Structure formats: C-alpha cells, structure tokens
Amino acid sequence: MDRKDIDNLLDKIEQFRAEKLQDVEELRVKLLGKKGEITRLFEEFRSVAPEMKREFGKVLNELKTKAAEKIESLRESFEDILDTDTKTDFTKPGDAFELGTRHPISLVREEILDIFGRFGFAVAEGPEIEDDWHVFSALNFPPEHPARDMQDTFFINPAGDDPILLRTHTSSVQVRTMERQKPPIRVVCPGRVFRNEAISARAHCIFHQVEGLYIDEGVSFADLKQAILLFVQEMFGPQTQIRMRPSYFPFTEPSTEVDISCNICGGKGCNICKGTGWLEIMGAGMVDPNVLEASGIDSTKYTGFAFGMGIERIAMLKWMVNDLRHYFENDARFLKEFRSVL
C-alpha cells in the first residue's frame, strides 16, 4: 500500500463533478462497492506492517469519510432537479390508493351503542384489570361459585381478601356506575373481557361484550322485554321476534336467556339455528336486590333490569361468520369483506 495512491484517490474525489444523479451512484459503486477502490485499499491494509497500521488506518478512515460526505453532498444537490431520464409525466393516471376498513367488531360495537343511545342510554367504561369485589362479590356471586375458580378466570393475584383478576364480564362497570351515580341510571357498558377457555371456532379466551343497566322507580320486566325487542328489530330487521327462556344468573332475579328468530331461515329451521328456528343472543333479568344494596341503592325504592351480549356473537349472526378466530387473526382477505360497511 502506497500513501501516494491514497492521496491521488482523495484528489480525484474532491475534483469529481456529476452531471446527473446516475453519475453519483456510479461514483459510490466505484469507491465503496464490494470491488470499489476504497474497499480494495482496506483489504490491502491487512498486509501493512504493524508499525505502519496506525498511520495508514487513520488515513484510510479519513478517505472513506470524505468519500461518503462527497457522495451525500452530490445527492443533495440533485434533490430539487428532475433527471431528464425520469421526468414526471403529469398526464399519466395516478396510483390508486386502496381504502381501508374498520374492524367488524368495531362496526357492530358502534351500531349497538348507537341503537341504545337513541333509547337514552349513556356509555360507561371501566378498567380491564379488576378486583374480586367489582367482578364477583358485589354481583352476588357466592364464594363457591365456579366462576371464581382458576380454570375459569385469569387471576393476576389470587391471594388476599380481594384478589386481582382480568374481568370476566363488563358487569363490573355496572357496579362502579351504581357506586358513584344515584338513580335514575341508564347505561351501556362496552369492553373487552377475558375467560380461561380453550380457543376454538365458537369460543375464545378474549372477547367483547356490551352490557346494559337501567335503574329507576317502577322499572319492570315488561320494560326489559320491550327494550330488547326494540333493539333486535333495529339490529336485525323489523321482522325479528324474540323468545325468553328462564335461566339463572347470580346478579339478576328473575333471569332469562333471550333468543331471536333465525334471520337466515325466517324461523323455519336451518343448519345455523340447528333446526330450531331460534338463535341465542344474550342473557338478561331484573337486578337482584342484593346487588342494589351492595352498591348503596335502596332496593325498596328502586328496581332495574340488566342485560349482556357478546359483540362477536352479534357479528356472527349479522354477517354469518362461522369462526370466532377470524376476528383476531387480522387476515386482510377477511377484513376487506367489510370495506363497504358504513
């Protein structure tokens, strides 16, 4: 390696002038490419005598730095100049920008909230990480209830008098609303919930709910039935009918499961409704007096109803999606199907 070769190469770099951007790229390849002159000098540096390495190493590094600075400077000088070979054709049609879409869960969530908003329900939200009181105890769950078991609920801190867990339903938001607000109360509570379940086409460990609560003087089961009927006819069409079956929930008494007439077969029976003509969509009931009292509401003066539905379930019925996992996989082919949904 000769110091004179390095100095000559440095002079060539400093005197180089480019007429177009392509000249700059050619200079970069000639100097810094895999077979470039500076790259070759660094390879020859390995054979330099040990006592000369410090001197030549410093000079080579300076050469490489100045070459990079020169190339960058030349590039910047061409930023505002159109290369004659790549001049923009303003008569050419522009590129089509593909429109995105909102997630189907978000679409159904907003539709549900909009319907109940027209019924006078406000939106209430709460934390996803909750304590045992708001998820279970305040909602009349007995200590031995299966939902408190580790195989059904994700506990973060199961020890202590008030364990910490991921909420299993948005009913915890109803409790928080009753604690801070005096009747009349009319809210819907949307949110993400968690249950320790195996993931399959019809079940998931994460899903979304919308629960509703109405508390006032003189609220009856007839009010609950009418509110649900109006909701399903707004969501699925005016021809939709409902069926209520007796059920049990710790926080409501009496309790009911709500079915709607199958919107695929019109109630005649098909593989979607398993030949029954009915599809289950939610649970509901009158708020148990113990729940009212636990939140400081006089159960002798006020009554109320509550209901809860899975957003994925409503979306499945609305758009005939037969696998819950589609909602969580972010497959662009699936999401594009909802591009035209407002």
| Percent of the chain surpassing pLDDT 70 | 94
For residues 209 and 171, the answer to whether their CB atoms sit within 8 Å is no
C-alpha 185, offset from chain centre: 29
* Cα 170 to Cα 194: distance, rounded to the nearest angstrom: 10
* Cα 249 to Cα 257: distance, rounded to the nearest angstrom: 10
Residue 195 vs residues 14, 106, 154, 256: alpha-carbon distances, Å: 69, 20, 6, 22
| pLDDT single digits (tens) 142-171 | 887 777 776 688 999 887 778 899 999 999
- Is pTM beyond 0.85? Reply is no
| pLDDT single digits (tens) 95-147 | 777 777 889 999 999 999 999 999 999 999 999 999 999 999 999 998 877 77
C-alpha 202, offset from chain centre: 19
For residues 331 and 96, the answer to whether their CB atoms sit within 8 Å is no
| 275: phi then psi, degrees, rounded to nearest 5 | 80, 0
Instruction: Count CB atoms within 10 A of the CB of residue 310.
Output: 19
Q: Where are the domains of the chain?
A: 3-86, 104-338
Which pair of structure tokens corresponds to residue 30? 């000639």
Between CA 167 and CA 125, with CA 283 as vertex, the angle to 5 degrees is 40
| pLDDT single digits (tens) 289-314 | 999 999 999 999 999 999 999 999 89
Confidence of residue 30 (pLDDT cuts 50, 70, 90): confident
In terms of C-beta density within 10 A (0-12 exposed, 13-18 middle, 19 or more buried), how is residue 187 classed?
buried
pLDDT at 80: 57
Note if the bond before 183 is cis, omega within 30 degrees. Answer: no
Question: Which ranges in 18-158 belong to alpha helices (H)?
Answer: 21-32, 37-44, 50-77, 104-118, 132-135
The arrangement of secondary structure in 104-338, i.e. its CATH architecture, is 2-Layer Sandwich (3.30)
* Cα 142 to Cα 21: distance, rounded to the nearest angstrom: 77
Strand partners, 284: 256, 307
Note if the bond before 254 is cis, omega within 30 degrees. Answer: yes
pLDDT at 215: 97
How would you label 204-213 residue by residue, b for 16+ Cβ within 10 Å and e otherwise?
bebbbbbbbb
